[in-house]
Chain A
Amino acid sequence: MKYLLIILLLVLSGSAYAAGVSPQFANPEQQEAYETLTSELRCLVCQNQTIADSNAELAADLRRQVYEMLQQGKSKQDIAQFMTDRYGDFVLYNPPFKLKTGVLWLGPVAFLLIGLVIVFLFVRRKKAEATMPAHAEHGNENAEKLAKIRSLLEKGDPS
């Protein structure tokens, strides 16, 4: 029980590790832009963290860059462009849709469609088997049995 409590507390404490305190903006829109941008830009040193989450020095530098550019009145698009010009699309957690990233975006949809088609075909076959057991697998054997049953029905059971 004690361990469970410790584990629970550790799990809940995750947010306490968020790197630094975000700077204050006079303008709430800028504040919002800062929060969104820093949570959408990847820290390239620790690639599974955003620059808002990361304690890496580079992340701190990039946060400073975002802050300064917002103070200069740059838009979110300007800043995202600034970052991709330097670090490539990989810096964006939400990569743009283009030829190079097409597989990334369409891949899951394609796999879902393939899966659905397979399920559909499978279900249809099972259904066909259920309604027409005679022709499903052992065609000839079953046909023979059927003929035997028919003849039995017609003539009546001799026994």
Chain B
Amino acid sequence: MNLLMLKYILPLVLFSVLAVFLALGLNLNPSEIPSPLIGKPAPVFSAPKLQTTARDGGSVAIGREPMRPTEEKLSPADLKGQVWLFNVWASWCASCRSEHPILNQLARQKTAIIVGLNYKDEPEAALGWLAQLGNPYDVSIMDQDGRIGIDWGVYGVPETFVIDKQGVVRYKHTGPVTTDDVQRVFLPLIATLQAEN
């Protein structure tokens, strides 16, 4: 009798296990690859800045000095002691457009410095984009040949890293940041990191 029951129950159990695994698999995002950089020092770069204008929180002042590429450079060492976001973007990237207003909003809250990595882009197109959609970045640096991108393990624009005061990468978000992500992940994390020494 026991054996007979097993005969009917076992396939059911096997099916349930399989169903659970498949359900989990369906909800995984295969394009989200965990970054090996978490907990490691931010990869070093020294790259030219896209422009030098101060943060204007997304409100583009018309008639202001036009932004243009400069020879000034930035490296992570310059940001030591500060919590910063590193956002990879490009004017050719469609999902960056959906992310942009959210970054503008985040920038207005002034919780952390936002550094942009203008990835494989033309400076003119990038500056035009910022002029049109607002500039959430304290500073953007240029990576025209994608080498900084490789060092940061960038494979899908947009990507956003959070770096702590010690210059250690603490979090990576692949794909456009949503309002929900900002509320649920970024703001709490930034608050924690700001409280650290």
A interface, CB within 8 angstroms of B: 44-45, 47, 57-58, 61-62, 65, 84-88, 90
CB <8 Å contact, B36 and A61: no
Name B128-157 residues within 8 Å CB distance of A: 145-147, 149-153, 155-156
B156 surroundings in chain A (CB, below 8 A): 44-45
B42 to chain A, nearest CB (A): 13
What would be 10 A-B contacts, judged by CB atoms less than 8 Å apart?
A: A44-B33, A45-B155, A58-B146, A61-B150, A62-B150, A84-B36, A86-B36, A86-B151, A86-B153, A88-B34
User: B120 in the interface, Cβ–Cβ < 8 Å?
Assistant: yes
Is A87 within 8 A of B36, CB to CB? yes
Partner of B31, one of A47, A84, A87, A88: A47
Determine whether the beta carbon of A65 is less than 8 Å from that of B35: no
User: Interface size of B by Cβ–Cβ distance < 8 Å?
Assistant: 19
- CB of B150 within 8 A of CB of A86, answer yes
**Is B11 located at the chain interface by the 8 A CB criterion?**
no
Q: Which listed residue (A47, A57, A87, A90) contacts B120, Cβ 8 A?
A: A57
Chain A residues near B33 (CB-CB < 8 A)? 44, 87-88, 90
Contact between A88 and B36 (Cβ–Cβ < 8 Å)?
yes
Q: How far is the CA of A47 from the CA of B146 in the complex (A)?
A: 19
Are A85 and B36 touching (Cβ within 8 A)? yes
Measured CB to CB, the nearest residue on chain A to B146 is: A61
Whether a CB of chain A sits under 8 angstroms from the CB of B30 is yes
Q: How many Å lie between the Cα of A45 and that of B31 in the bound state?
A: 8
Question: When chains A and B are docked, how far (Å) is the Cα of A45 from the Cα of B146?
Answer: 14
Pairwise interchain contact A87-B149, C-beta atoms closer than 8 A: no
Minimal beta-carbon separation of B134 from chain A (angstroms): 27
A44 and B155 contact, Cβ closer than 8 Å, known pairs A87-B33, A88-B35: yes
